[in-house]
Amino acid sequence: MAQRIQSRRVSNALLPYLTSSQSSSTSSISSTCPSSQLFSRQFSATAAPQTKLRRQMFQWLSTEGATLKHHIPGETNYLSGRAERDGDSNEAPRPFPGNRNFLSETVLSEELRNEVYVRVVEKKKSLRAVSVELGIDMKRIAAVVRLVEMERRQRAQGKPLALPYARAVHEMIPTTPLAQEGERQPFHEPINDLPAHPSTGAQIFYPVPESRSFTRVDAGRVFSGAPTLEKAVADKISHPSDLVDDIIENPNSIEWVGKGKNARQVLQPADVRIPHPQLVKLELDRKAFPNERRTVAQRHAERLEKQEAAEKQRRELAQARREKSIQHVEPERSRFEYRIQDAKFTKETVGVDGRAPWAPGRRYGIPAEDRKRGMVKIPTRVEA
Amino acid sequence: MRNRASTSLSKGKIRQSWSKYNLYNLQRFRTPATANRTFFQQKWTAKATSRAYHGEQVREGQWKRMFSKRIRSVIPMNTTDLAADDGSKESAGRGSGLSESGGRNRSRPIPYTQMAFAPLERRLDVAIFRSLFASSTRQARQFVIHGAVTVNGQKMRHPSYLLNPGDLFQVDPDRVMYATGAPKTAFERRETRQLKQKSDDAEGEEAEAKPEATEKDVKENARDSLRALMSQAKTIMSTDKDVLPAKRKQELRGFQKAVRRVLSRSDTSTVLTDSLEAQFSELTLLLKAKRTEKKPAKESKKEAKEETTATATKSEETASGALSEAFQAAAEGGAVDTSELTDEEFDILKRALTQMRDNPIDHSKPYATPWRPRDYMSAFAFIPRYLEVNQNICAAVYLRHPVARPGSAEVPTPFGESISTPAYGWYLKRRW
């Protein structure tokens, strides 16, 4: 068995977080050097316990790699080195020296997480508003609320938590702090990410007369193969973000093109597809009324309210429709509640002849395939 | 499945693991040479190296079915730019936009092929590793199989479960502490064995050990124990590197005992048997009460102490020395109560107590206690943006699928584009 090199002295890592503010818990390099072992056994007849590669590895670990053994609280400690990071300090650090394109981006600090929870749950602000205030993606905000809620529940129940682990991790990776009173809150991530639509991958040669103004709305129509807008309709649209209101009111109002399998909705301009389309409107208002801050803010608030109301109404409608199709049966003195949903016999649900393999129920001549070899039974979704 | 994922030095493959062997391999990895090699050979090597890291636990056929040539990407939009025009400027001229002087927003290229292995990041075992809940994907896989992982509150035993956006997964915190904590030393393992042997008759002993001090003793005891408490707290908090872990642990244990002694004198007898939380709150309450009592009577001593604290800011060691001296003087004088604490001391004591509560010595745990991160963990510590992790409860949400954006890709991979591009080409149905 090859010898392992034990560091004789352990740094302050025993109390990693308590001493974080006062001291740097760098490691002291163990004094045992692998090369000294070799010299001590040069007359030995037994085979060397270490191969050349192992020796080199321990050599490296005790010299250059020694800094990687323990972290300095509040600093990242990646292989790409501290020296390199100091050069471009405003960029996120890169954990892999061979990959310039992967960055170790910041995570939310504990205080910021709690602040998000307080704003959403206690102050009853909408996800959208909190997202814009703190510069955090809406999905992340929803997740944070869920997780903090869960954490509070577990604390109340006295379940075990991994507190020292959490502190250590937050010392090792960059975090977005919560701003102090009077400071500006640093944004966590870009919130208006436009997902690249697959249909924009094609390179299309589309000649347009120079006299015509070809806008983002037109480009979307070209990409989805829709005919050009009528001039009367096109003239009504002064800016692509004018389409936002209608679509928020009624998302089904988006035009469809193609038939059957090829049916697709017309690709909307970026102003509509970004997560916070109201911010474009806000910018437009700011340009239109440069000296009327209050008007601008008021209009923005109204728009937000309208959008939230529309979204809420749509959610409620969908929920009501779902509830309507389900019949609840709760027998007396029973632990169970049965939810019965009628099977729909349409071409989509049971196939052309009503005997499609995905149709509900057992049908003569259509064997269940779940016991067949090679049928994957790993769940594809878990209901929350 | 047999584990073929050894981190051997001779092969030098990079794995999803925090082992120091892997760290060394990562450090000495060089991009394979392309000169004098056919394109096929280059792609083969690129595929082999990247597959050793990405989903080596997944069979090749399985991965080929998962592979998708479509790569998700996003462009961060600037609302000011969107509001500035309706896009007609970009399409003016010869269709590539009127030439703008300077090229203000020349965006960086999107590293698409770095996302070649993005479908694997959806796997439950990989996501657990990426959230820093396990020290390798293999270990994450074991946690799943052994039933330590829940998805949306239900136990999930399939490591290959593909997470959907919005799925919340949680790992047993004890397993996470074990996976990410430093391993036990031989000495600690021995302690564990002894603890196991002792566990039978431990209960009887403890019942006997309850102190039954008379009224007179109480005051003496209070002084002694508080002094001991203080000095121990100080040594615990001292930042001396030369203290060996065993010695430090002895001190911690002594401190624990002292706390217990103080608590045993408190009015409520249930505190000792209660949880650590209750003990902590009781102790802080006790100390706070004494402190507020003593505050007005403190004037005489204050000047002397202020001097010592002034010097204390420079070096911790002299401070603790001076403080203990002051303590001793107070104890000998008799007139002054020993429970008189300066702000600094109180702070130290409080921190030591917090540490005791959150990170106690517990030999029944499978990791070295008090918990500390394992060696070389920091070199691998990063959390990609498509996960939102709460480390306190060891739970994370898979927010969305990883995406590429100008200048960066979200799939953590140690390889540059010179490897990921030929590897991506290898898996295309119509191979390059």
Render B248-277 in DSSP notation, one character per residue: HHHHHHHHHHHHHHHHHTSS-TTTTTS-HH
Least CB-CB distance to B132: which of A169, A238, A274? A169
Distance from C-alpha of B391 to C-alpha of B379, rounded to nearest angstrom: 18
- In percent, the amount of chain B with pLDDT more than 70 equals 62
How confident is the model over B271-297, as a mean pLDDT?
A: 55
How confident is the model over A261-288, as a mean pLDDT?
A: 94
Residue B215 confidence (pLDDT): 41
Distance from C-alpha of B48 to C-alpha of B431, rounded to nearest angstrom: 16
pTM: 0.79
Q: CA B374 → CA A82, B19, B25, B212, B267, distances in Å?
A: 20, 10, 18, 43, 42
Residue B54 confidence (pLDDT): 96
Residue B213 confidence (pLDDT): 37
Cβ atoms of B324 and B231 closer than 8 Å: yes
Across the interface, do B76 and A190 touch by the CB < 8 Å criterion?
yes
Inform me whether the C-beta atom of residue B160 falls under 8 Å from chain A C-beta atoms.
Answer: yes
Tokens matching residue A36: 């000294």
From chain A, the residues in CB contact with B158 under 8 A are: 378-379
- Nearest chain B residue to A238 by CA: give it: B86
Helix (H) or strand (E) holding A149: helix A138-157
Cβ atoms of B283 and B346 closer than 8 Å: no
* pLDDT bracket for residue B264 (50, 70, 90): low
Cα dihedral B379, B385, B390, B396 sign: negative
**Phi/psi at A199 (nearest 5 deg)?**
-70, -15
- Tell which residue, A147, A91, A177, A111, has the closest CA to residue B399: A147
Beta bridge partner(s), residue A107: A175
Across the interface, do A57 and B275 touch by the CB < 8 Å criterion?
no
Cα dihedral B122, B124, B126, B132 sign: positive
Residue B430 confidence (pLDDT): 79
Distance (Å) from the C-alpha of residue B206 to the closest C-alpha of chain A? 25
Helix (H) or strand (E) holding B232: helix B215-237
Check pLDDT > 90 for residue A149.
yes
From chain B, the residues in CB contact with A276 under 8 A are: 79
Residue B299 confidence (pLDDT): 38
Distance (Å) from the C-alpha of residue A317 to the closest C-alpha of chain B? 22
Distance from C-alpha of A349 to C-alpha of A343, rounded to nearest angstrom: 9
- Tell which residue, A66, A48, A67, has the closest CA to residue A1: A48
Tokens matching residue B226: 């508080």
Least CB-CB distance to B79: which of A22, A215, A280? A280
Across the interface, do A13 and B373 touch by the CB < 8 Å criterion?
yes
Check pLDDT > 60 for residue B324.
no
Residue B384 confidence (pLDDT): 97
* pLDDT bracket for residue B335 (50, 70, 90): very low
Least CB-CB distance to A158: which of B87, B237, B275? B275
Q: Give the CATH number of domain B20-73+108-179+385-427; options: 3.40.50.300, 3.40.50.2300, 3.10.290.10, 3.40.50.10800.
A: 3.10.290.10
Across the interface, do A98 and B416 touch by the CB < 8 Å criterion?
yes
Strands A107-108, A175-176: pairing is parallel
Inform me whether the C-beta atom of residue B78 falls under 8 Å from chain A C-beta atoms.
Answer: yes
Across the interface, do A192 and B78 touch by the CB < 8 Å criterion?
yes
Distance from C-alpha of B89 to C-alpha of A219, rounded to nearest angstrom: 12
Least CB-CB distance to B416: which of A99, A160, A192? A99
Check residues B294 and B163 and name the one with the higher pLDDT.
B163
Cβ atoms of A50 and A103 closer than 8 Å: no
How confident is the model over B150-164, as a mean pLDDT?
A: 97
From chain A, the residues in CB contact with B368 under 8 A are: none
Cα dihedral B182, B185, B187, B190 sign: positive
Beta bridge partner(s), residue B181: B373
Query: Coil, strand, or helix at residue B373?
Result: strand
From chain A, the residues in CB contact with B130 under 8 A are: none
Residue B95 confidence (pLDDT): 62
Give which of B49, B68, B79 to mutate to test A binding, by max A Cβ within 10 Å.
B79
Instruction: Average the pLDDT over each of A169-178, A225-234, B309-318 and give the range with the smallest value.
Output: B309-318
Surface-to-core class of residue A116, CB atoms within 10 Å of its CB (0-12 exposed, 13-18 middle, 19+ buried): buried
User: CB within 8 A of A269, min separation 6: which ones?
Assistant: A215, A216, A217, A219, A220, A240, A241, A243, B87
Rg of chain A over all Cα atoms, to the nearest angstrom: 31
Distance from C-alpha of A215 to C-alpha of A309, rounded to nearest angstrom: 30
How confident is the model over B82-103, as a mean pLDDT?
A: 73
- Nearest chain B residue to A165 by CA: give it: B177
Domain map (residue ranges) of chain B = 20-73+108-179+385-427, 214-358
Distance (Å) from the C-alpha of residue A164 to the closest C-alpha of chain B? 6
Inform me whether the C-beta atom of residue B246 falls under 8 Å from chain A C-beta atoms.
Answer: no
- Tell which residue, B392, B394, B424, B425, has the closest CA to residue B411: B424
Distance (Å) from the C-alpha of residue B426 to the closest C-alpha of chain A? 20
Residue B217 confidence (pLDDT): 47
The DSSP string of A177-238 is PPPPTTSPPPP-S-S-EEEPPGGGGS-------TTS---HHHHHHHHTTPPPPPHHHHHH-S
Instruction: Average the pLDDT over each of A34-43, A70-79, A259-268, B307-316 and give the range with the smallest value.
Output: B307-316
Check pLDDT > 90 for residue A345.
no
Check pLDDT > 60 for residue A228.
yes
Tokens matching residue A325: 């199709």
From chain A, the residues in CB contact with B359 under 8 A are: 15, 163-164
- Nearest chain A residue to B150 by CA: give it: A382
Residue A368 confidence (pLDDT): 80
Query: DSSP H helical segments within B167-214, as ranges?
Result: 173-180, 186-198, 202-208
Tokens matching residue B261: 């002694």
Distance from C-alpha of B83 to C-alpha of B367, rounded to nearest angstrom: 57
Across the interface, do A102 and B351 touch by the CB < 8 Å criterion?
no
Cβ atoms of A341 and A326 closer than 8 Å: yes
How confident is the model over B93-111, as a mean pLDDT?
A: 67
Cβ atoms of A103 and A113 closer than 8 Å: no
Residue B318 confidence (pLDDT): 41
Residue B323 confidence (pLDDT): 43
Q: CA A124 → CA A152, B30, B398, distances in Å?
A: 18, 53, 25
Residue A351 confidence (pLDDT): 87
Instruction: Average the pLDDT over each of A328-332, B52-56, B195-199, B323-327 and give the range with the smallest value.
Output: B323-327
Instruction: Average the pLDDT over each of A138-152, B75-89, B272-286 and give the range with the smallest value.
Output: B272-286
Distance from C-alpha of B427 to C-alpha of A118, rounded to nearest angstrom: 47
Inform me whether the C-beta atom of residue B239 falls under 8 Å from chain A C-beta atoms.
Answer: yes
* pLDDT bracket for residue B148 (50, 70, 90): very high
How confident is the model over A207-227, as a mean pLDDT?
A: 91
Q: How many CA atoms lie within 13 A of B181 on its CB side?
A: 26
Check pLDDT > 50 for residue A48.
yes
How confident is the model over A122-148, as a mean pLDDT?
A: 95
Q: CA B129 → CA A93, A194, B16, B143, B218, distances in Å?
A: 20, 28, 8, 11, 54
Q: How many CA atoms lie within 13 A of A350 on its CB side?
A: 12
194-233 in chain B: CB under 8 A from chain A? none
Distance from C-alpha of B100 to C-alpha of A282, rounded to nearest angstrom: 26
Distance between terminal CA atoms of chain B?
32
* pLDDT bracket for residue B276 (50, 70, 90): low
Peptide bond between residue A73 and the one before it cis (omega within 30 degrees of 0): no
- In percent, the amount of chain A with pLDDT more than 70 equals 86
Tokens matching residue A350: 């049971």
Across the interface, do A143 and B72 touch by the CB < 8 Å criterion?
no
- Nearest chain B residue to A188 by CA: give it: B385
Residue B257 confidence (pLDDT): 67
| Count of all residues that appear for chain A in the document | 384
Check residues A46 and A67 and name the one with the higher pLDDT.
A67
Distance from C-alpha of B322 to C-alpha of A19, rounded to nearest angstrom: 21
Distance (Å) from the C-alpha of residue B193 to the closest C-alpha of chain A? 22
pLDDT single digits (tens) B194-236: 888 988 665 555 444 444 433 444 445 555 556 666 666 665 5
- Nearest chain B residue to A53 by CA: give it: B9
User: CB within 8 A of A321, min separation 6: which ones?
Assistant: none
Residue B358 confidence (pLDDT): 82
Least CB-CB distance to A150: which of B75, B82, B395? B395
Across the interface, do B408 and A239 touch by the CB < 8 Å criterion?
no
Answer left, alpha or beta for residue B110, where phi above 0 means left and psi between -120 and 50 means alpha.
beta
Across chain A, mean pLDDT equals 85
Distance from C-alpha of B149 to C-alpha of B171, rounded to nearest angstrom: 5
Check pLDDT > 60 for residue B270.
no
**Phi/psi at B196 (nearest 5 deg)?**
-65, -45
Under DSSP, the state recorded for B297 is G
User: CB within 8 A of B203, min separation 6: which ones?
Assistant: none
Helix (H) or strand (E) holding A328: strand A326-329
Instruction: Average the pLDDT over each of A101-115, A247-261, A354-368, B87-101 and give the range with the smallest value.
Output: B87-101
Distance from C-alpha of A132 to C-alpha of B342, rounded to nearest angstrom: 45
Residue A358 confidence (pLDDT): 81
Across the interface, do B76 and A283 touch by the CB < 8 Å criterion?
no
Tokens matching residue A157: 């129940």
Check pLDDT > 50 for residue A244.
yes
